[in-house]
Structure 1
Amino acid sequence: MKETLYFSVDQNVEVTNEEIYLGKIATLWCRDKAVLSKAMACKLGKMPSGKESFRVFSAVEVIQALQTADPNVEVTNLGTPDFVVHYHRGKKPDALWEFIKTAVICLVVFFGAAFAIMTFNSDVSIRPMFQEVYKMLTGVEQEGFTILELTYSIGLAAGILVFYNHFRRKKVMEDPTPLEVQMRLYEQDVNTAVIENSNRGKEQKGVDGA
């Protein structure tokens, strides 16, 4: 009786070793522990040495590798039909360089956001509007700074914190932030483009070979 082996691979996988083994990139399950151990040690391929790169694999390649290692096993894929394996050398990041990059990004975002807010306030003439509202509420004409500007500034900062769902290292809510959602969507789009380009290249090679 054949044993059934189930496997699942995420669409985007990172490895730090040039040798790609299924146990490092996939989730595998089988009732027979010997079959499971053999599957985890199954080699899927090798990344180009000396540089960081990526390769696109299909579930068919995984099934072929598993059944080559053990012809008596029945393989079932529960994950994505195609996936991307990124190879990154396991080197320790330079703390100073990481700090410099983070500081530069923070400065760009801070001054960019400040400029955007100032241009918006200038476009809608918010200062004269506050003066008119203050005069309507108090009957006194005020030329300088008023309580309206203060509450507006506090509300703007509080709104940004709530919208981006972060205060220091802690989240205000458990839901993913808008930035996290957009990053995941961007990552999915990149993976889809990489997989489609790879499949298109394979089809072109097949046409040229024919």
Structure 2
Amino acid sequence: MAAPVYIRLKQSIYVNPEAEIRLKDAAGITGAEQQISPLKELILHKVTPEDQNIVVIDAFMVVEQILHHQPDTEVQLIGPSSCVVHVEKHKKEPNPLLISAIWILLFIGAAMAIMNFHFDVSMQSVQQKLHLMLTGREAEYPLLIQIPYSIGLGIGMILFFNHWFQKRFNEEPSPMEVEIFNYQEDLDHYVAIKENKVEKKDVDR
């Protein structure tokens, strides 16, 4: 009996419209070289306009295709049970005016949130008392504390998000990147269950 072929489907991949999705694109494959060489080029699905922007490659379909071409192959599946294929259509160039408008809107929203938080916790009163304790003098606007506090608040946010424009300070992902990753993972999981167009086509035949 032939040695088993081990296949691990990828969580998700990105392809161009009308691309041919081969086994090597949608999964990692290992085993005897004489067995896996032809399997790597096995076409699992050809993207069509009807697929729109998402295609789901199911593990059952992968096994079925492999056994159709190599009936004596023992297939061992490892990892995810499906691969979500995102069809990337031609992207438009970003509009600088739109980006600037969104940037200004987010900046104003963040500033309002910080100011409202400071008002709710009476930050100015606290800083006035701290200034009195440290210097022994009362001040309506304790700039000695407010200026370093404001600078530290900005630096703290930059360090927290681990980004300064395109520059990353270390390899640790930022909270925003973790949230985006979790959202994408949940989205792929939902699509794999609810939007398996390839499997629906096979059932309809």
Q: Normalising TM by the smaller chain, what interval?
A: 0.7 to 0.9
Residues 20 and 47 in structure 1, CA contact (< 8 A), matched pair in contact too:
yes
Which residue is 1:143 aligned to?
Answer: 140
Which residue is 2:9 aligned to?
Answer: 9
Q: Does 1:24 align with 2:22?
A: no
Q: Does 1:70 align with 2:70?
A: yes
CA 1:134–1:160 in structure 2 vs 1: closer, same or farther (change >3 Å)? Answer: same
The Cα of 1:52 is off from its aligned counterpart by 3.6
Q: Alignment identity in percent? A: 30
CA 1:84–1:96 in structure 2 vs 1: closer, same or farther (change >3 Å)? Answer: closer
Moved more, 61-70 or 23-32: 23-32
- Matched letter for residue 27 of structure 1: G
Which residue is 2:128 aligned to?
Answer: 131
CA 1:102–1:37 in structure 2 vs 1: closer, same or farther (change >3 Å)? Answer: farther
Which residue is 2:93 aligned to?
Answer: 95
Q: Give me the whole-angstrom Cα distance separating, in 2, the residues matched to 1:81 and 1:2.
A: 24
Which residue is 2:86 aligned to?
Answer: 86
Q: Give me the whole-angstrom Cα distance separating, in 2, the residues matched to 1:161 and 1:130.
A: 23
- Matched letter for residue 69 of structure 1: H
Q: Give me the whole-angstrom Cα distance separating, in 2, the residues matched to 1:73 and 1:17.
A: 31
Aligned positions of 1:180-195 closer than 5 A: 180-195=177-192
Aligned residue for 1:27, secondary structure, equals strand
Residues 56 and 84 in structure 1, CA contact (< 8 A), matched pair in contact too:
yes
Aligned residue for 1:7, secondary structure, equals strand
Aligned residue for 2:163, secondary structure, equals coil
Q: Give me the whole-angstrom Cα distance separating, in 2, the residues matched to 1:58 and 1:50.
A: 18
Q: Give me the whole-angstrom Cα distance separating, in 2, the residues matched to 1:158 and 1:78.
A: 44
Q: Give me the whole-angstrom Cα distance separating, in 2, the residues matched to 1:194 and 1:122.
A: 44
CA 1:47–1:163 in structure 2 vs 1: closer, same or farther (change >3 Å)? Answer: same
The Cα of 1:163 is off from its aligned counterpart by 0.9
The Cα of 1:146 is off from its aligned counterpart by 1.5
Residues 127 and 142 in structure 2, CA contact (< 8 A), matched pair in contact too:
no
Residues 28 and 40 in structure 1, CA contact (< 8 A), matched pair in contact too:
yes
- Give the count of matched residue pairs: 199
CA 1:143–1:174 in structure 2 vs 1: closer, same or farther (change >3 Å)? Answer: same
- Matched letter for residue 185 of structure 1: N
Q: Does 1:53 align with 2:50?
A: no
The Cα of 1:109 is off from its aligned counterpart by 2.3
- Matched letter for residue 93 of structure 2: A
Residues 14 and 86 in structure 1, CA contact (< 8 A), matched pair in contact too:
yes
Q: Give me the whole-angstrom Cα distance separating, in 2, the residues matched to 1:25 and 1:111.
A: 43
TM-score (structure 1 length as normaliser) = 0.82
Aligned CA-pair RMSD: 2.5
CA 1:77–1:109 in structure 2 vs 1: closer, same or farther (change >3 Å)? Answer: same
Deviation sequence 1:162-192 (CA, Å, 0-9, x none): 1111233332232111111111111111112
Which residue is 1:156 aligned to?
Answer: 153
Deviation sequence 1:70-113 (CA, Å, 0-9, x none): 11222111220122112223x3x44343x455434332322211
Moved more, 158-167 or 51-60: 51-60
Aligned residue for 1:77, secondary structure, equals strand
